[in-house]
Amino acid sequence: MTEPTAPDPVSLDALEQRIRQAIELVARLRQEKQAALAERDAALREAAQQRQRAEKLAEELEALREERRQVRARIEKLLGQIDALASAAP
pLDDT tens-place values along the chain, 90 residues long:
556 666 677 799 999 999 999 999 999 999 999 999 999 999 999 999 999 999 999 999 999 999 999 999 999 999 999 999 888 766
For residues 58 and 54, give the distance between their C-alpha atoms in angstroms, rounded to a whole number.
Answer: 6
Amino acid symbol at 9: P
pLDDT at position 51:
98
Helices (H), 1-90: 9-88
For residues 4 and 25, give the distance between their C-alpha atoms in angstroms, rounded to a whole number.
Answer: 34
Residue 85, φ and ψ in degrees, nearest 5? -65, -40
**Single pTM value for the model:** 0.59
For residues 90 and 71, give the distance between their C-alpha atoms in angstroms, rounded to a whole number.
Answer: 31
